[in-house]
Amino acid sequence: MEADFVIVGAGSAGCAMAYRLSEAGASVLVIEHGGTDAGPFIQMPAALSYPMNMARYDWGYRSEPEPNLNNRRLACPRGKVIGGSSSINGMVYVRGHAMDYEHWRDSGADGWGYADVLPYFKRMENWHSGGHGGDTEWRGKDGPLHVTRGPRENPLFGAFVEAGRQAGYDLTGDYNGEKQEGFGPMEQTVWQGRRWSAANAYLRPALKRDNCDLVRGLVERVVIEDGRATGVALKGGQVVRARRQVVLAASSLNSPKLLMLSGIGAGAHLAEHGIEVVADRPGVGANLQDHLEIYLQMAASQPITLYKHWNVFSKALIGAQWLFTKTGLGASNQFESAAFIRSRAGVQYPDIQYHFLPMAVRYDGQAAAEGHGFQAHVGPMRSPSRGAVTLRSADPGDDPVIRFNYMSTEQDWIDFRACIRLTREIFAQEAFKPYVRHEIQPGADLQGDADLDAFVAEHAESAYHPCGTCRMGRADDPNAVVDPQGRVIGVEGLSVADSSIFPRITNGNLNGPSILVGEKMSDHLLGRAPLAPVNDAPWIHPDWETEQR
């Protein structure tokens, strides 16, 4: 049990690295605790609420009670399955905004500016516009990751975009291209009617090579000898050795946990649990960020929503059609219109994201009691709140302690109130007049700041985008955990490559940027020169300083 590279975690970044490292001729062992991703619950896009709530596929983590959210413990799903969270997520594909990566670079992640990451996005994508426009020059055509657009046949998808235009916002033909800001079609990692997870895109092709293998097991710690990582210890005592590098790609919750169990973290915290300190890095587990969102739900005046399929008979028909033909409603995640807007003048680039869904339903699959309805998932993109992942004990079998510290600044509340009020304005436009009966939630009677704050405290949910817990920065930055090549500072032969390393959360869903990390880190691990930077300038609202739209 030995290879050049040992990758812990067959998730979004881990699968991409397995593919690129084995493609270059290196031997790779990927270690995954979860089981197979076969079966309709994972592979059928419309079934996305099932795997996310199944203990078989999910680590089942919950946050500690969140003091600003009425002490609720929020669900924090992470994929425990081949493909990781890309096998249980909502399949929404967002690169992030160009300015997100400029911020990464400026905060110490040299070589991670937009010009540096754009070539990697192009390398990983196999983009299909489906005849819906888009920025061909900005997109990749022959990468492993298929990115498509839903058919957008339900009239509500068009109504949402038209309402945005009527409210005075820009439209965008491709939020992953030159211009993120505006209303337009949403993109999904779906191909030929199937969830196109990192397992389907990267790991399956990699495993066909003789130099790439998958090992089932629970990694308990990194084996470190004389300041160098030489392998990992599995539950049961087996050690898998790495000749060149051990790479943690176990998620923003499990990667910092593994570092701490291995003696890398805040010295005092490790000492509390009787763990010998190998490298005192206070940034391990700190800087935890996430996107929080609410569902603004409207009752529909016409029976055109997906609610008409919310019965056993209809679900069986959709399932059968998908099973045999990979077509129909089962072949889309149903998130087919999107928007990115700015909350106020003086914000340089979008800080609010919308997912529009032609049904009023919760992530756990519970439909709204009102029957026919539709909803916008809305939330701020760059919360100033920061949390932490810490150890519950020195026992690798214990869940980590997850404290997001949501809504802990005044700015969070200001941003959420803006989200609700701007969304109500969009739903009040002429384009929605034929479809709206009334507001289900928050409910039209909730208008004042205190009412809206109370609603957010009771109903805000995680968008499941945790990141930032092994922040990338300069080697002399005491709070950085990895350098811009992904190497853990203070230990030889050990890297982290997943959403843990994000210095700051990116706009939108994190699957795309997580795969990007795997793609780019592969070149660093191989000692290759990175792809040549490009100088495509993204669109920024010309009057952003004085205008909100």
Residues taking part in catalysis = 465
Amino acid at 114: Y
Instruction: Locate 146 and state its tokens.
Output: 């298929």
- CB atoms under 10 Å from CB of 118, counted, come to 22
Distance CA(175)–CA(97), nearest Å, equals 9
- CB atoms under 10 Å from CB of 361, counted, come to 22
Nearest to 549 by CA among 151, 155, 169: 169
Is residue 84 helix, strand or coil? helix
Torsion of CA 76, 81, 82, 86, to 10 degrees: -30
Torsion of CA 80, 83, 85, 90, to 10 degrees: -130
Is residue 282 helix, strand or coil? coil
Count Cβ neighbours within 10 Å for each residue of 286-301 and write b for 16 or more, e otherwise: bbbbbbbbbbbbbbbe
CB-based contacts of 238: which residues, under 8 Å, 6+ apart? 1, 217
CA of 210: how far to CAs of 43, 105, 205, 206, in Å? 26, 37, 11, 9
CA atoms within 13 A on the CB side of 514: 33
Element (H, E) at 312: helix 312-325
Nearest to 232 by CA among 493, 482, 519: 493
Contact 296, 378 (CB under 8 A): yes
CA of 187: how far to CAs of 94, 127, 238, 337, 547, in Å? 7, 10, 42, 8, 28
Is residue 318 helix, strand or coil? helix
Is residue 241 helix, strand or coil? strand
Nearest to 129 by CA among 120, 116, 139, 119: 139
Contact 46, 320 (CB under 8 A): no
Nearest to 28 by CA among 55, 2, 65: 2
